Amino acid sequence: MPQNEQKKNSSTPWKWLGGGAAMLLIKGKAILSLLKIGKIAGPLISMMISIWAYALIYPWGFAVGFVLLLLVHELGHVIAAKRIGLPVSAPLFIPFLGALITMKKQPLDAQTEAYIAFGGPILGTIGATAVFGAAYYMDSPLLYSLAYIGFLLNLINLLPIHPLDGGRIATAVTRWLWLVGLVGGLAIIIYMRSILFFIIWALFAYDLYNKYVKKRTNNRLYSVMKSFLIPVEPLRDAGYMIPGPEHRRDLPFTTYSDLERQQYVGVRWDQLNYIGRAALPQQCIIEKVRISQLEPVTLENGLHLKMNCDISYSVYENDKYYDVPASSRWKYGIAYFVLAGFLAGMMYMVHVVGNVNL
């Protein structure tokens, strides 16, 4: 083949990619308007970006199939969450990192967490098995490769390491599985030579250290600053004394959570006849609320006193979160090991039948 023709053919994919990128830039506003930046737009755009990124390294067919397998896995989590009434986001795809969903409301117990975690590997395994069946029927090397990678990804996700699915399932089986993940997971990750999974393992190890080692010697207190606006003019008219900027004091407080499990703190300053409320960043046990700064602020409706309060708290940990009935522990444990064994067996079968060696 002439050299010029080789150059022309080799540059064709890059021309397609460049042309596609240019079209997205030019028509991007129209496309986003069509999708109305709704629930479909984000996942669809992230899917297209992921397919494009993987296609830079792998064939287009493999890139599309791989992202679809990720989609099936994440839809398993979505379906499981919807079945028990927990709202979740649509799947978001991140090139070379995979995909994820976020829960808008956290589960109340370990059994619920494990149920949602199981949804991904189960539906993901069904999807990979369907691809394997199609590969066997059509004798397709591409589909065999996709089936193998599908089984592998779902098996890796079952490692008992947070935040992988296996780490979440372990909460309903036994937390001793986390120790297995800490030791065995590191050996597997070193064998795979994966920087990404090593980072996940390191964060998991650090989290365990904070929970079970550091916590025993140091009950850590956190602090958050919240501001409140107190109208000054009505207070002056009523004869109240307005404190100066250097005034400091502890304030009495109350706290409660709404049905969405958002915790609030209510502060009271009896000397100024003021009651205020603020949302807290997480479920916590409040130690004290102290005025750290007072600052006069002029707004459209008059002079106000901006009160900055330093709220000291410790993180609330529900000790009953891990209370799971023995029957459920056995059920989840058996399902966990059966699923892991099935995935390992299917990987071997794909390797033998499809002669895949990845």
- Determine contact, residues 242/304, Cβ cutoff 8 Å: no
- Determine contact, residues 314/222, Cβ cutoff 8 Å: yes
pLDDT profile of the chain (358 residues), mean per 10:
42 42 46 50 82 89 92 92 85 81 79 92 95 92 92 92 90 89 82 79 82 63 91 87 89 89 91 92 90 90 92 83 88 95 93 70
Pairing relationship of beta strands 263-269 and 274-279 according to DSSP bridges: antiparallel
**Max Cα-Cα span within the chain:** 96
The set of long-range contacts for 265-269, using a CB threshold of 8 Å and a minimum separation of 24, is: 265/226, 265/289, 265/311, 267/228, 267/309, 269/230, 269/307
Tell me how far apart the alpha carbons of residues 193 and 186 are, in angstroms, rounded to a whole number: 10
For residue 299, what are the β-bridge partners?
Answer: 302
For residue 73, what are the β-bridge partners?
Answer: none
Tell me how far apart the alpha carbons of residues 301 and 308 are, in angstroms, rounded to a whole number: 20
- Determine contact, residues 163/200, Cβ cutoff 8 Å: yes
287 within some domain: yes
Length of the chain counted residue by residue: 358
Q: How many domains does the chain have?
A: 1
104 within some domain: no
Tell me how far apart the alpha carbons of residues 251 and 235 are, in angstroms, rounded to a whole number: 19
Classify the C-alpha dihedral 120-122-126-131 as positive or negative: positive
Burial class (CB in 10 A: 0-12, 13-18, 19+), 241: exposed
**H, E, C per residue of the chain:** CCHHHHHHHHHHHHHHHHHHHHHHHHHHHHHHHHHCCCCCHHHHHHHHHHHHHHHCCCCHHHHHHHHHHHHHHHHHHHHHHHHCCCCECCCEEECCCEEECCECCCCCCHHHHHHHHHHHHHHHHHHHHHHHHHHHHHCCHHHHHHHHHHHHHHHHCCCCCCCCHHHHHHHHHCCHHHHHHHHHHHHHHHHHCCHHHHHHHHHHHHHHHHHHHHHHHCCCCEEEEEEEEEECHHHHHCCCCCCCCCCCCEECEEEEECCCCCEEEEEEEHHHCEEEEEECCCCEEEEEEEEEEEEEEEECCEEEEEEEEEEEEEECCCHHHHCCCHHHHHHHHHHHHHHHHHHHHHHHHHHHHCCCCC
40 within some domain: no
Tell me how far apart the alpha carbons of residues 247 and 306 are, in angstroms, rounded to a whole number: 12
On the question of a cis peptide bond just before residue 13, with omega within 30 degrees of 0, the verdict is no
122 within some domain: no
Q: What is the pLDDT, as a whole number, of residue 10?
A: 38
Q: What is the pLDDT, as a whole number, of residue 29?
A: 47
Q: Pull the structure tokens for residue 271.
A: 């000397």
313 within some domain: yes
200 within some domain: no
Residue entry with tokens 């009495």:
252
Question: What distance, in Å, lies between the first and last C-alpha atoms of the chain?
Answer: 32
133 within some domain: no
Q: What is the pLDDT, as a whole number, of residue 290?
A: 95
State which residues form the domain around 230: 222-318
Tell me how far apart the alpha carbons of residues 112 and 171 are, in angstroms, rounded to a whole number: 10
39 within some domain: no
